Structure formats: structure tokens, C-alpha cells
Amino acid sequence: MNEDLCYENTYTKVTWNDVFQYLHIAYKGVFVGDNFYEGGLRQVESLVSRQGCRILYDLRQYPVSTQTNLRWILEDFLPKMQATGLTHIAAVMPEDFYGKGAASYILARFSERGVQVEKFDTVLTAAEWLIELQNTAPGA
């Protein structure tokens, strides 16, 4: 799907779609230690280095967030992501009930800060939405 690997570890895989200009972040389960924070900061770096403004989050295996992780997301990660110029998030929601609740809460905080957030059931439909945004962007 014309994606370049930005990085991958045990917990996440992050790729850049060269054609449609979005960061694709797929979670792979529960984080251990500081890997949650490191992964979040690598997402910020990847978005900045590609000068991107759209993300496809594949959250199907997103882990339930601890209070500490939620606090870090809201106080540190979210402002850093917003500072990158992030405008759109297409989110494929978690399969787990509790993971879905945590993801919905976090995505609502992004939305409150002006990021357009749409939730999807499949990676394909999320990607289609981002592709449509790219195709209708000024200068496309």
C-alpha cells in the first residue's frame, strides 16, 4: 500500500503512506515499562519528520490505559501531537470493551482541541477516508 516503515517494535508498527501522506500507527498489545512513552514520542517524531497532518490509528489491539498513561497522554503527548499541525485522525476502534472506552476518551480530547476525529470498524474504511481527504485537499 506504498508505505515506508518509520519504526517497529514489539508494541507498535508505524509506517508512512507516501502516496496519500498519512502516518499509519498499528498497536500490537500491552506495553511494558517506558515503551508506551517512547512509542508516543516516536509517533510525534515520525509525524514531524514527514511533515504530516493526518494519522490512521489501528487501535484494534490497543491496550487498556492506566491512569498514569492517560495523564501522560493528556498532559504531554496530546499537546506535542497538536503542535505538529495534526488535523485529522482516522481511528479503527479497539475490539476490547475497556480498550474502546479508553480510546474513545482520548480521541474525544483530541477532538476538543480541534482535530477532526472519525471512528471506523476497519483499516480499509479508515484509509479510504484519509485518501478522500488527500484527494480533495487544495492543490491535490
pLDDT digits (tens, 9 = 90+) for 79-120: 999 999 999 999 999 988 888 888 999 999 999 999 999 999
Least trusted range by pLDDT, from 43-47, 83-87, 118-122, 132-136: 132-136
Q: Is 12 exposed, middle or buried (0-12, 13-18, 19+ CB in 10 A)?
A: buried
Q: Collect all residues with Cβ–Cβ distance below 8 Å to 29 and sequence separation of at least 6.
A: 11, 61, 63
The per-residue pLDDT for 49 is 94
Is 1 a residue whose pLDDT tops 60? no
> Domain 3-134: which CATH class?
alpha beta
Whether 92 and 58 have beta carbons less than 8 Å apart is answered as yes
Residues above pLDDT 90, as percent of the chain:
60
Which three cell numbers mark 77?
Answer: 503527548
For residues 89 and 56, give the distance between their C-alpha atoms in angstroms, rounded to a whole number.
6
Q: Which pTM value belongs to this model? A: 0.90
pLDDT at 99 (0 to 100): 83
Spatial contact of 23 and 56, defined as CB atoms under 8 Å apart: yes
- pLDDT score for 25: 93
